Amino acid sequence: MDIMKENTAVDTNTPIYSGLYKSIIQYIDINEVIAPERCSLGKETLRQFCASLSSRGFLRPLFIGAGRRLIDGARRLAASKVLGYGCVPCVFAPTPLVFGDDLMILRLREGVSDHFEYAEALRVLTEEYLYSQESVAEALGRSQSFVANKLRLLRFTEEERSCAASFGLTERHCRALLAIPDPDKRFEALRRVGSAALTVGATEEYVASLARYPRSDVAAEFERELSSLVSKYGGKLLVSTSDADGKSSYTLTIS
Helices H / strands E in the chain, number of each:
11, 6
Classify 89 in phi/psi space as left (phi over 0), alpha (psi -120 to 50) or beta: beta
With a CB cutoff of 8 Å and minimum separation 6, the contacts of 66 are 93
* pLDDT for 97: 56
Q: What is the pLDDT of residues 175-231, one digit of tens each?
A: 999 999 888 899 999 999 999 999 999 999 999 888 775 555 656 667 667 777 777
* Greater model confidence, 9 or 140: 140
Whether the per-residue pLDDT at 171 is higher than 90: the answer is yes
* pLDDT for 93: 77
Confidence band of 159 (pLDDT split at 50, 70, 90): very high
Whether the per-residue pLDDT at 145 is higher than 50: the answer is yes
Q: CA-to-CA distance for 246 and 223, rounded, in angstroms?
A: 15
Residue 22's CB is within 10 A of a number of other CB atoms, namely: 11
Kindly tell me the burial class for residue 198, based on how many C-beta atoms sit within 10 Å of its own C-beta (0-12, 13-18, 19 or more): buried
Q: What angle do CA 126, 69, 94 make, to 5 degrees?
A: 75
Which H or E run contains 231? helix 217-232
Count CA atoms within 13 Å of residue 247 on its CB side. Answer: 2
Q: CA-to-CA distance for 103 and 54, rounded, in angstroms?
A: 24
Count CA atoms within 13 Å of residue 196 on its CB side. Answer: 24
Average pLDDT, the chain: 80
Q: CA-to-CA distance for 49 and 139, rounded, in angstroms?
A: 20
Q: What is the pLDDT of residues 226-237, one digit of tens each?
A: 777 777 776 677
* pLDDT for 1: 30
